[in-house]
Amino acid sequence: MAGMGSRESVIQNLEDAGCEAGTIRDFLKWFEQGRKEKQLEVLEYQREYLLDRVHKDERRISCLDYLIYQVQEKQDGKGV
């Protein structure tokens, strides 16, 4: 466990990164066994999950921006 801090700090970091209990459990299993490649797989999976959520939210924001534009155009009398 050298270099990463205490088990508690690792758990806190995983929670702060949005990991669910099962992901944390999986990571800790590999952490305790010193299996860095498996730890990285878990972390990379979580990163991809979060990135997918970001992209979905970006699309939602674009939809809202379009609606805001439409409402502003209508309000300014330019009609839609």
43-80 burial by CB neighbour count: b if 16+ within 10 A, else e? beebeeeeeeeeeeeeeeeeeeeeeeeeeeeeeeeeee
Mean pLDDT across the stretch 26-51?
97
What pLDDT score does 1 carry? 41
Q: How confident is the model at residue 77 (pLDDT cuts 50, 70, 90)?
A: confident
Q: How confident is the model at residue 78 (pLDDT cuts 50, 70, 90)?
A: low
Would you say how long the chain is, in residues? Answer: 80
Tell me the HSE value of 11 on the side-chain side, using a 13 A CA sphere: 9
pLDDT tens digits for range 14-23: 999 999 999 9
What pLDDT score does 56 carry? 98
To which H or E segment does residue 79 belong?
A: none
Mean pLDDT across the stretch 39-63?
98
